[in-house]
Amino acid sequence: MVSDSNILYGGDYEEPSCISFGELIFRTLKRRREEVLIIDGLTGIKFTGNQILNSSIEIANALRNYGIKRNDVIGIVSENRIEFVKIAFATFILNAQLSPVNYNYVKNDLSHAFNISKPTLIFSTTSAIKNVISTCKDLDYVKQIISIDEINSTELLSLSAFIQKFSFPFFNINSIISTKVDLKLQTAIIFLSSGTTSVAKGCEITQYNMATCITAFQKRMKFLKQFSADGKIMTLNITPWFHVMGMVNIFSILMCDDISTVSLSKFEPKVFFGCIEKYRVISTSIPPPIVVFLSKTPLLNDYDLSSLKAIFCGAAALKKETEDLVKSRFKNKLTILQGYGMTETTAGIIYGVYGKEVPGSTGMLEEGIYAKVIDEEGKSLKPNQIGEICVKGNRIMKGYLNDPKSTAETIDKDGWLHTGDLGYYNEDLQFFVVDRLKELIKYKGFQVAPAELEGLLLSHPKIKDVGVIGIPDETAGELPFAFVVKQDGIEVTAKEVKEFVKKNASNAKWLRGGVKFIPEIPKNPSGKILRRELKNLYKNFKAKL
Q: Which three-class secondary structure state does DSSP give residue 87? A: helix
How far are the Cα atoms of 90, 231, 354 from residue 226, in angstroms, in the given order?
A: 35, 7, 12
How far are the Cα atoms of 20, 30, 415 from residue 53, in angstroms, in the given order?
A: 16, 7, 37
User: What's the count of helices (H) and strands (E) in the chain, helices before strands?
Assistant: 16, 27
How far are the Cα atoms of 242, 246, 337, 500, 511 from residue 508, in angstroms, in the given order?
A: 15, 17, 26, 14, 9
With contact defined as beta carbons under 8 Å apart, do 188 and 206 qualify?
Answer: yes
Could you tell me whether strands 259-263 and 36-40 are parallel, antiparallel, or unpaired per DSSP bridges?
parallel
Neighbours of 210 (CB within 10 A): 24
Q: Which three-class secondary structure state does DSSP give residue 99? A: strand
Q: How far apart are CA 146 and CA 93, in angstroms?
A: 19
What are the residues facing 481 on neighbouring strands? 469, 514
Q: How far apart are CA 105 and CA 101, in angstroms?
A: 8
Q: How far apart are CA 247 and CA 260, in angstroms?
A: 15
State residue 3's pLDDT score: 66
State residue 196's pLDDT score: 44
Q: How far apart are CA 340 and CA 326, in angstroms?
A: 20
Q: How far apart are CA 46 and CA 440, in angstroms?
A: 39
With contact defined as beta carbons under 8 Å apart, do 241 and 100 qualify?
Answer: yes
User: pLDDT truncated to tens, each residue of the chain (545 aa)?
Assistant: 456 889 999 999 989 999 999 999 999 999 999 999 999 999 999 999 999 999 999 999 999 999 999 999 999 999 999 999 999 999 999 999 999 999 999 999 999 999 999 999 999 999 999 999 999 998 999 999 999 999 888 789 999 999 999 998 888 999 999 999 999 999 999 999 854 445 789 999 999 999 999 999 999 999 999 999 999 999 999 999 999 989 999 999 999 999 999 999 989 999 999 999 999 999 999 887 788 788 888 899 899 999 999 999 876 667 677 788 888 888 778 999 999 999 999 999 999 999 998 888 899 999 999 999 999 899 999 999 989 999 999 999 999 999 999 999 999 999 999 998 888 999 999 999 876 666 778 898 887 888 788 888 988 989 988 999 999 998 899 999 999 999 888 999 999 999 999 999 999 999 999 999 999 999 865 466 888 889 999 988 887 76
- Residue 246 neighbours by CB under 8 Å, 6+ apart: 80, 237, 239, 240
State residue 351's pLDDT score: 95
Q: Which 8-state DSSP code applies to residue 98?
A: E
State residue 397's pLDDT score: 97
Q: Which 8-state DSSP code applies to residue 326?
A: H
Query: CA 331, 337, 342 angle in degrees (round to 5)?
Result: 145
Report the amino acid identity of residue 500. F
Q: How far apart are CA 543 and CA 537, in angstroms?
A: 10
State residue 1's pLDDT score: 45
Could you tell me whether strands 8-9 and 441-443 are parallel, antiparallel, or unpaired per DSSP bridges?
unpaired
DSSP-assigned letters across all residues of 473-513: ETTTEEEEEEEEEEPTT----HHHHHHHHHHHS-GGGS--S
What are the residues facing 417 on neighbouring strands? 391, 411
What are the residues facing 351 on neighbouring strands? 339, 364
With contact defined as beta carbons under 8 Å apart, do 523 and 536 qualify?
Answer: no
Q: Where on the phi/psi map is residue 289: left (φ > 0), alpha (ψ -120 to 50), or beta?
A: alpha
Tell me phi and psi for residue 191, to 5 degrees: -90, 145
How far are the Cα atoms of 60, 162, 165, 287, 456 from residue 65, in angstroms, in the given order?
A: 9, 11, 9, 40, 42
How far are the Cα atoms of 27, 57, 92 from residue 176, in angstroms, in the given order?
A: 13, 10, 11
Q: How many CA atoms lie within 13 A of 281 on its CB side?
A: 26
State residue 102's pLDDT score: 92
How far are the Cα atoms of 20, 283, 433 from residue 349, in angstroms, in the given order?
A: 22, 19, 13
With contact defined as beta carbons under 8 Å apart, do 209 and 13 qualify?
Answer: no
Q: Which three-class secondary structure state does DSSP give residue 305? A: coil
- Closest alpha carbon to 396 in 339, 347, 446, 445: 347
- Closest alpha carbon to 177 in 200, 207, 155, 152: 207
Neighbours of 405 (CB within 10 A): 8
